[in-house]
Structure 1
């Protein structure tokens, strides 16, 4: 049992180093930025923003117990708490209460557990579907209106229609709209006259908390869920083999994406991201549906293998890292993708969904950024890891368990995200046949050890093969993943017809032409196929290659940036003969026409420097007059953002050591101040000052404050705070006059003593 304390600050100051470390690890926001001392840590732990983060991280069991403590009131007896929860499992409730104390949502006073003051504000007045207490709905209401015995007596006399109206509001919401029909208004009037409903506006009524609890037979929740629901599972076999096959297929998709975008990179949209048309083209090239293609695109981007090239006309192109990645061992290649997916804040499943803007989210765009998906991935993999190896969970029961873990998340959003994570994990090979693979456990257990993750997957990846089986119908079968050079050749020279344990390629006129365009000759093409095939090269394939090669290049297209035309052929002859004009690489296309790859302006300047007098001609044949160019400075490149160190156990230990040292100094300063006459007001952290003022409002006691005027002089005032809001404190001073004080001018505060 914890030592009784007088306040949350007293409770935190009395904790051991191990307990403080557990507190900071449970609520990492308390360490950012580092508090000055333990008093500042306690004040920050009681702020609404920090408490809200802590409450949002609670599972349903802890949330139900916390709500019960709030409804029961401070220092409630255990039997009352168990009655509210509707359970006799005192051991589980006590364990949960200990967790809530550990994360400083409760603190232990001399008379029992107390809720941190901001917890009821975060939970709201309608927690668990209950309404606000009678005294809040109607402050003038006498105490007997909230008496449970009076409420039970009134309910016993209630007509059936009145009872039915109350039952519809019993489990929430606790607010209703007054009916317009005369009989229903009579029913509502009966309830209002007996104070079982309270009017809150001209046409709205509320069910007081006390009435709601009587209707619920004293139970706070319809069903008590202190422990997580069980996950139904089914045994599966060959999990790692299935995961290895999916991983190999994923690596092939990334290779094909890099090859496609390396040859013809898609444009970057003005708002960022990949156009829907380009995603559709990519999906067709990879032979995937758009959802799977978006996942491949996003994971390749997350691994740093494709990026915006940053040019004047930006495109999505493979980065320089793709070459090193492609030459790595398959296990390391997969580890790079898996760890990038595990730590990414990109949510591929949002691609194509309606975003906050006017259109759907684009792949690689800002609308596919969702930081919450990273924690959802971790939670899904943790749940899968808790299941016996070789067993796959039932998706519905897994979603129910995760909904229990995070009850404050939207059920629809969470269900969609969990389904997406399970689907992506299967595509990636983190799971196989629905069960977590050995490599998936390595990703979860060692996210900072790529070598360990790579070793876990390498043993299950199909071995690469160095041969194909060419068949008479112009197809070739690859009995496994092809080695690098042969794989690149087949992706270039043939089209993928089907994938699976073996990949089937088909040679077509278009695919052969693609290889010839890349510089392969017909002889080289045929020799490569002959060397790589375990079967003879069929005659139809040789005929196909020779036929395409015979037609290839009969018509030629070239590029020229500028042309030179002159009616005097001798002038053009002089230009061709001039050594000074050799860098222009002039070439004659007709007796009176030369072409060059140089820019027209450069061409004009260089010809003038060599004694010629050309003019710049526009597309319509008119003379283009030169204008003075205007230079613009390039945009400044921003450096990397601030690096935030993780809140881990070593850093937390160092923080606690610093807090202990600061607390010792503060204790000495307080002892020195206590020896001086008059009230002690010391300069303190503004968060601590605000916390003390809010406590004074709630407890209705006086506070001495130090207040700085417009000239910088500080004076002391005894005030009784009434409200703290909008950066100001409304309070009454010693003479009883109400005044307003700016919080930023208050240098410190101390309780009237």
Structure 2
């Protein structure tokens, strides 16, 4: 039996110490000098509460029982703990809970169990509370009947201490008094004549948390639904296509008209509504897309180029240069960037539109949406679905109950609505399909290589097709996702009419002219439809292309600032006689040539608006594509992620454990020939002499050392050489020769 936590830790194996440092990484920052220092850190209240955040209801209840039975002072036998649990949980479950608590050094000892004193503060409910409390439905019904005075009283207890002192608790008090009415409804528990208690479940309901019974030490059951993995992946694949398409449309909408940034940051309600209408989705969907695109660096806030026509001098949200390269990649690769961004996004998009503490709506892309715990919460919720196995799903209600039992200390932030929103967002991103985790979502959640997740989602998506179906009414039907090259060509010559599994485009005179403006010729358009259409090309389409092409390009514009060139003098004369000639200040140089000082893009736009069909040309006379690519902003340096205690690697853990063992040996080694060095360095000569003696006799020494960061440590080393203000010695903790600066050595003694 061990008397102290330090001695119990000393008796642990190296692998057990490594597990402790892995489960509680804050204990290793900075590295403790020895096991005594480590034991002191494990009992610090902040570290204990941080470790308790990952405990279940049963594990926290075991801490409560041990604390109540005297585990902080004299220890508790295993038999006494079994009697306290009294059959409320299986023995194996209690043993497993004790194992979890020992691994984290919150409970220590074998036959006699001791509990870290600060651990009791992690239990937020009374362990010996009555086990016949109201259910969630009964609490909701009872709260609906209370008066305003009674609700204020309950709210005060829910947001402060659940214990209240009042004279109205005494027997014989008027039953119409608020406290007596609440006692009668069982919304308060009677403790004595002057004390009442708010039941834990009632407090949860008042705070908007998931109501759980802390006396139930068995996890709530999850009734899974068995599904075909292919069906789950197909449902997720459909969401992937919609996600990528909507993000493309949103990038295009912001490129065409950047959105003004609010003075407080973020995006206003009016701009959000405009973008939702442009993309054809509801506002919650467009705000989720905005947050993901901003997190991925595909949109940003700044000064766009070119500036909007009605520039207000404010910053704008617009696509970045990265959006152009993202648009040109395959669908699966585009999805991977979006999904990975959402999984690691330190924000909660579902908060957008809700009211803040000042009763103002929370704006998209604002600082109020930031939450550093969001990635951890997402991974935990999706991890519960991953535990069910491939092809097994669960309802959101059961996931909510399981989350509340597994992580009761997260209840303030991971409420029922938060869990439901996480599941809904995961489905919208394509990680969840039909309430089950998809194969690609599982790969992403387990941090598999990007190629694995991309391959999984590629298998879930319909294979791209390289053909279309041209209809007699000049519609083009794509019965599946088109190859990137064909999609770009069809989008150029036809307008999107409806999207979905089968996408419909419509060809018009304006769309054909757009393709011709981009540099395609009539023969190229004929070849496109002849080779890519599985149906016969209607004659009306052939006539339309030829008719538009016949008129297109007869009038040529260049730089003079701009010039007009036309083989038909009558057509050029018609242009010069029209009102547009005056606004462009056109001047004839010859029967077939005219010039203007207006920019070429403006000449083309105004002539087209006047009903003409000019084409732009370069110095060689070739048709050039002058379409606007949309506004773009420079991508700003991303905001640094919040610094969290990093989990050490196995190699780092092994090294740290060796250092702890060496430090413990040095701290407990006998010091018969100790030579202490103080700030005056009066004993420097003696320190040097003792180190040189150790080199000559090949003896190890125990030294006290303070490194450049000010961290003091004790260690046993084997000196190799001394000189030049340096000590070279073999450090068994690191398994290598290390160099020590002599003036940083605070003590020296021969070891052994």
What TM-score, normalized by structure 2, do the two folds share? 0.63
Query: Counterparts of 1:490-505 in structure 2 under 5 Å?
Result: 490-491=490-491, 494-505=494-505
Q: CA–CA distance in 1 between the matches of 2:195 and 2:388?
A: 48
Whether the 8 Å contact between 1:470 and 1:536 is mirrored in structure 2 is: yes
Whether the 8 Å contact between 2:169 and 2:192 is mirrored in structure 1 is: no
Matching residue of 2:15: 18
Q: Compared with structure 1, are the counterparts of its residues 551 and 99 closer, same or farther at alpha carbon in structure 2 (3 Å cutoff)?
A: same
Whether the 8 Å contact between 1:403 and 1:411 is mirrored in structure 2 is: no
Unaligned runs of 5+ in 2: 131-156, 184-189, 200-211, 305-312, 562-583, 589-595, 600-635, 677-703, 708-752
Matching residue of 2:239: 246
Q: Compared with structure 1, are the counterparts of its residues 639 and 264 closer, same or farther at alpha carbon in structure 2 (3 Å cutoff)?
A: closer
Q: Which has the higher contact order (CA 8 A, sep 6+)?
A: 2
Q: CA–CA distance in 1 between the matches of 2:652 and 2:559?
A: 62
Whether the 8 Å contact between 1:68 and 1:84 is mirrored in structure 2 is: yes
Aligned to 1:344, the other structure's residue is in SS state coil
Whether the 8 Å contact between 1:37 and 1:663 is mirrored in structure 2 is: yes
Whether the 8 Å contact between 2:298 and 2:320 is mirrored in structure 1 is: yes
Whether the 8 Å contact between 1:7 and 1:107 is mirrored in structure 2 is: no
Q: Compared with structure 1, are the counterparts of its residues 38 and 560 closer, same or farther at alpha carbon in structure 2 (3 Å cutoff)?
A: farther
Matching residue of 2:484: 484
Pick aligned residue for 1:230 from 200, 221, 226: 221
Matching residue of 2:61: 64
Q: Compared with structure 1, are the counterparts of its residues 683 and 114 closer, same or farther at alpha carbon in structure 2 (3 Å cutoff)?
A: farther
Deviation of 1:290 after TM superposition, in Å, equals: 1.7
Matching residue of 1:205: 195
Whether the 8 Å contact between 2:385 and 2:394 is mirrored in structure 1 is: yes
Q: Compared with structure 1, are the counterparts of its residues 638 and 283 closer, same or farther at alpha carbon in structure 2 (3 Å cutoff)?
A: closer
Query: Counterparts of 1:235-634 in structure 2 under 5 Å?
Result: 235-237=226-228, 238-309=231-302, 313-356=314-357, 359-410=360-411, 413-445=414-446, 447=447, 449-491=449-491, 494-507=494-507, 532-538=532-538
Q: CA–CA distance in 2 between the matches of 1:559 and 1:365?
A: 45
Q: CA–CA distance in 1 between the matches of 2:272 and 2:511?
A: 22
Q: CA–CA distance in 2 between the matches of 1:18 and 1:249?
A: 48
What TM-score, normalized by structure 1, do the two folds share? 0.63
Whether the 8 Å contact between 2:65 and 2:127 is mirrored in structure 1 is: no
Aligned to 2:291, the other structure's residue is in SS state helix
Aligned to 1:317, the other structure's residue is in SS state strand
Q: Compared with structure 1, are the counterparts of its residues 673 and 112 closer, same or farther at alpha carbon in structure 2 (3 Å cutoff)?
A: farther
Q: CA–CA distance in 2 between the matches of 1:176 and 1:544?
A: 87
Q: Compared with structure 1, are the counterparts of its residues 240 and 596 closer, same or farther at alpha carbon in structure 2 (3 Å cutoff)?
A: closer
Aligned to 2:33, the other structure's residue is in SS state coil
Q: CA–CA distance in 2 between the matches of 1:670 and 1:227?
A: 54
Whether the 8 Å contact between 2:302 and 2:316 is mirrored in structure 1 is: yes
Aligned to 1:404, the other structure's residue is in SS state helix
Deviation of 1:459 after TM superposition, in Å, equals: 2.0
Superimposed CA distance per residue, residues 18-49 of structure 1 (whole angstroms, 9 cap, x where no aligned partner): 11111111112222333333222222211111
Aligned to 2:259, the other structure's residue is in SS state coil
Superimposed CA distance per residue, residues 699-735 of structure 1 (whole angstroms, 9 cap, x where no aligned partner): xxxxxxxxxxxxxxxxxxxxxxxxxxxxxxxxxxxxx
1:98 equivalent to 2:121? Answer no
Aligned to 2:445, the other structure's residue is in SS state helix
Q: Compared with structure 1, are the counterparts of its residues 412 and 448 closer, same or farther at alpha carbon in structure 2 (3 Å cutoff)?
A: closer
Superimposed CA distance per residue, residues 35-80 of structure 1 (whole angstroms, 9 cap, x where no aligned partner): 3332222222111111111112111121121112122222234344
Q: Compared with structure 1, are the counterparts of its residues 521 and 179 closer, same or farther at alpha carbon in structure 2 (3 Å cutoff)?
A: farther
Q: CA–CA distance in 1 between the matches of 2:673 and 2:559?
A: 87
Whether the 8 Å contact between 1:86 and 1:224 is mirrored in structure 2 is: no
Q: Compared with structure 1, are the counterparts of its residues 180 and 415 closer, same or farther at alpha carbon in structure 2 (3 Å cutoff)?
A: closer
Deviation of 1:100 after TM superposition, in Å, equals: 0.9
Matching residue of 1:615: none
Aligned to 2:505, the other structure's residue is in SS state strand
Whether the 8 Å contact between 1:332 and 1:451 is mirrored in structure 2 is: no
Whether the 8 Å contact between 2:57 and 2:214 is mirrored in structure 1 is: no
Superimposed CA distance per residue, residues 384-420 of structure 1 (whole angstroms, 9 cap, x where no aligned partner): 2222422221221122112111112237843222222
